[in-house]
């Protein structure tokens, strides 16, 4: 390595210092939340500044979170949406992506355009809302599944992947007498598991994070997905949370409850993500080829 000048040394030190500060400011809020979630509400209320350990450690916050029945129904609803939703997503995306890799179909181009156009243009929020309303899907969990049955972007990712599978594999299966469906389910899909996993992940995360359509279309509280329950408890009305208990104590309990809630809604994701991260990057790369 060549020698560094004084200026370079100063720059390098400042650079590293800056990056460490940046990392601290990224991570500290989460650490703060973690400590606060195990803290005693009364002490938390009077606490000032950074937290470097839980104050008078207690599980009260977590107990309150799991006593709230809407947190539990929220979790259940979200799981249902993810499981059923992703299954439908994969089915819809796979069959159409396979169908449209076929060369020689006269209507292939027009159908592709028909799908891709929706990525750039939509009717807008209100016409979409009226459409869902007229279909009678309001206040039904399937409103979060059926209208999100497919994404044109993920369709393109999968289609690109299917096209990269050598057609000789398909031909030899046909010689052995396999029909189109057998080829799709026995050859193409098993060979595309990595790509299927990537788009399953994309779809799953979208379902996990979405709150907006639930806010538009779900009225009954027991049908709220987790994010909507969180919104209610964390953002809209502290008064509601407080109204459920006696005021003073409930107010202090709410302090820890909100941090426990953030933990409960975030830790599962933070645990799972690092393992999934490389698939995301992979998907983005496949997508970038044709996106």
Partner 1 sequence: MRFLSRLAKDLKKYRVYYMLALPAIIYYFIFSYKPMYGAIIAFKDFKPMKGIWGSPWVGLEHFQTLFHSAFFWDILLNTLKISLYSILFGFPAPIILALLLNEVRHTFVKRTVQSLTYIPHFISLVVICGLIKAFSGSDGLINDLIAWFGGERVSMLLWPEYFRTLYVSSGIWQEVGWGSIIYIAALAAIDVEQYEAARIDGAGRFKQLLHITLPGIKTTIIIMLILRLGHVMGVGYEKIILLYNPNTYSTADVISTYVYRKGVLEFNYSFSAAVGIFNSVIDFTILILANRLAKRWNETSLW
Rounded least distance, CB 203 to partner 1, Å: 14
Q: Name the 3-class secondary structure at 282.
A: helix
Between residues 175 and 281, which has the closer beta carbon with respect to partner 1? 281
Question: Using CA atoms, how far apart are residues 15 and 239, in angstroms rounded to an integer?
Answer: 45
Between residues 11 and 222, which has the closer beta carbon with respect to partner 1? 11
* Residue among 70, 76, 101 nearest 231 (CA): 70
Rounded least distance, CB 49 to partner 1, Å: 5
Between residues 122 and 164, which has the closer beta carbon with respect to partner 1? 122
Rounded least distance, CB 111 to partner 1, Å: 6
HSE, side-chain direction, 13 A CA sphere, residue 261: 26
- The 8-class DSSP code of residue 177 comes to T
End-to-end CA distance of the chain: 41
Question: Using CA atoms, how far apart are residues 45 and 64, in angstroms rounded to an integer?
Answer: 17
Between residues 130 and 249, which has the closer beta carbon with respect to partner 1? 130
Rounded least distance, CB 43 to partner 1, Å: 13
Between residues 47 and 72, which has the closer beta carbon with respect to partner 1? 47
Rounded least distance, CB 235 to partner 1, Å: 6
9-35 CB burial, b ≥16 within 10 A, e <16 = eeeeeeeeeeeeeeeeeeeeeeeebbb
């Amino acid at each position: 390595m060549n020698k560094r000048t004084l200026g370079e040394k100063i720059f390098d030190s400042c650079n590293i210092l800056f990056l460490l500060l940046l990392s601290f400011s990224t991570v500290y809020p989460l650490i703060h939340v973690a400590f606060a979630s195990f803290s005693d509400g009364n002490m938390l209320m009077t606490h000032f500044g950074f937290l470097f350990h839980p104050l008078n450690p207690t599980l009260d916050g977590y107990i309150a979170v799991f006593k709230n029945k809407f947190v539990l129904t929220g979790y259940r609803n979200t799981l249902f949406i993810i499981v059923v939703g992703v299954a439908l997503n994969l089915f819809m995306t796979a069959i159409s992506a396979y169908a449209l890799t076929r060369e020689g179909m006269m209507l292939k181009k027009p159908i592709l355009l028909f799908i891709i156009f929706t990525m750039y243009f939509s009717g807008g929020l209100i016409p979409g809302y009226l459409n869902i309303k007229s279909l009678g899907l309001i206040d039904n969990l399937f409103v979060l599944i059926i209208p999100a049955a497919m994404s044109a972007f993920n369709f393109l990712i999968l289609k690109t992947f299917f096209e990269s599978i050598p057609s000789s594999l398909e031909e030899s299966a046909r010689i052995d007498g396999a029909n189109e469906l057998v080829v799709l389910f026995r050859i193409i899909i098993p060979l595309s598991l990595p790509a299927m996993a990537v788009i399953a992940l994309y779809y799953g995360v979208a379902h996990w994070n979405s709150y907006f359509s639930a806010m538009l279309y779900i009225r009954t509280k027991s049908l709220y997905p987790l994010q909507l329950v969180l919104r209610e408890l964390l953002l809209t009305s502290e008064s509601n949370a407080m109204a459920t208990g006696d005021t003073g104590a409930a107010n202090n309990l709410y302090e820890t409850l909100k941090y426990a809630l953030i933990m409960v809604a975030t830790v599962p994701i933070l645990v799972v993500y690092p393992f999934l991260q490389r698939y995301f990057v992979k998907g983005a790369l496949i997508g970038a080829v044709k996106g």
